[in-house]
Structure 1
């Protein structure tokens, strides 16, 4: 089983005192969080914004977060890369309470929709629009009524749906996610 952690290069642009475009940060240092210990996913936090429209400053400041927070800030965005190891029995056999604890460790316990008879113990829903891009490997997206396997180069547009991710391959899957804060309308009845 592949377990090598990948580093990511992050290049942040800005402007000099004359208004010319420059690189203000070029590093591979990205805040990372291993969720649930060995066998759990690693979250690489790349950047987030705190308002829409985003205020563009000549020298953008990165707002530091001490802990992993699953959704973006209210009216904000978040980009992260998640490295999903192959799923084992320790994930497949989680109880409802244990699943809620996993999401609590990600800063959003209320996202968990785990329940008796759910298609996966890590089912969850966030009030966001997410773009998920598979960078390497493959992963199965599980929804309430169906599932599909997505592979490198595939893009998922997750529109506030109840879902889980299951890596049923024997290799790491790496995905980039852009999360945009949203708000559910009253047009449909949400279960869970």
Structure 2
């Protein structure tokens, strides 16, 4: 198995209180959390509302996920994360009530959908709109993508709301 990717660096900007000059408030590495075999996530920032009020708060939005039991979605808010998937690893099948922007940073993860799959590559952007899906990394290297998840109404098909769900990982 290839070596793991380094933890992502996060740079947070702010304004100096006395004169409003734009400054770097924090610059550091965010540790990745093991959430399942071969699956690691780094929570970079969480907002509790849209529009976000974070520009005027002094707390670390990355720590909100650790201190709140909000799961992947913050009601009326957003989550920004980095996801790493090991070679040969799958995520579970899942659907969230969110609009997700996934930007592939490295590797070639496969997006598995109910109607088939798409191979993605560095620079691709996958917009998830409340659909059931899973990810698979065929390797040989770790795959990484950045995700911005925005709370959304459930997708509705034929008048029926599709609820959030998690199922077992697909088989190869």
Fold equivalence (TM over 0.5): yes
Show the counterpart of 1:139: 109
Matches within 5 A, 1:40-59: 40-58=38-56
Distance 1:4 1:122, change over 3 A: closer
Residues 16-54 of structure 1, C-alpha deviations (whole Å, 9 max, x = no match): 1211211111111x14211234xx211111111111111
Cα pair distance change 1:176/1:57, threshold 3 Å:
closer
Between the two proteins, the alignment pairs up a number of residues equal to 158
1:114-161, Cα deviation, whole Å (9 max, x unpaired): xxxxxxx82110000001111011011111112111011111000110
Residue of structure 1 equivalent to 2:141: 171
CA pair 34-56 structure 1, distance change in 2 beyond 3 A: closer
Structure 2 SS opposite 1:66: helix
- Quote the residue 2:169 is aligned against: none
Alignment of 1:86-125 (within 5 A): 86-87=87-88, 122-125=92-95
User: Aligned residue for 2:75?
Assistant: 74
Q: Which residue of 2 aligns with 1:62?
A: 60
| Structure 2 residue corresponding to 1:183, chosen from 141, 149, 153 | 153
Structure 1: 5+ residue stretches without partners: 92-120
Q: Which residue of 2 aligns with 1:11?
A: 11
> Is there any run of 5+ residues in structure 2 with no aligned partner, and where?
166-172
Does structure 1 retain, via aligned residues, the 8 Å contact 2:99–2:152? yes
SS, match of residue 93 in structure 2: coil
Establish whether residue 157 from structure 1 lines up as the match of residue 155 from structure 2: no
Q: Which of the pair is proportionally richer in strand?
A: 2
2:10 touches 2:44 (CA, 8 Å); kept in 1? yes
1:16/1:52 CA distance change after superposition, 3 Å: same
| Residues 50, 31 of structure 1: alpha-carbon distance in 2 compared, 3 angstrom cutoff | farther
Displacement over 6 Å in runs of 4+: none
Alignment root-mean-square deviation, CA: 2.3
What is the alpha-carbon distance in structure 2 between the residues aligned to residue 71 and residue 181 of structure 1? 9
Aligned residues of 2:8 and 2:31 also touching (Cα < 8 A): no
- The whole-number CA distance in structure 2 between the counterparts of 1:57 and 1:150 is 33
8 Å Cα contact 2:13-2:23 kept in structure 1: yes
Q: When the two structures are superposed, what TM-score results if normalisation uses the length of structure 2?
A: 0.81
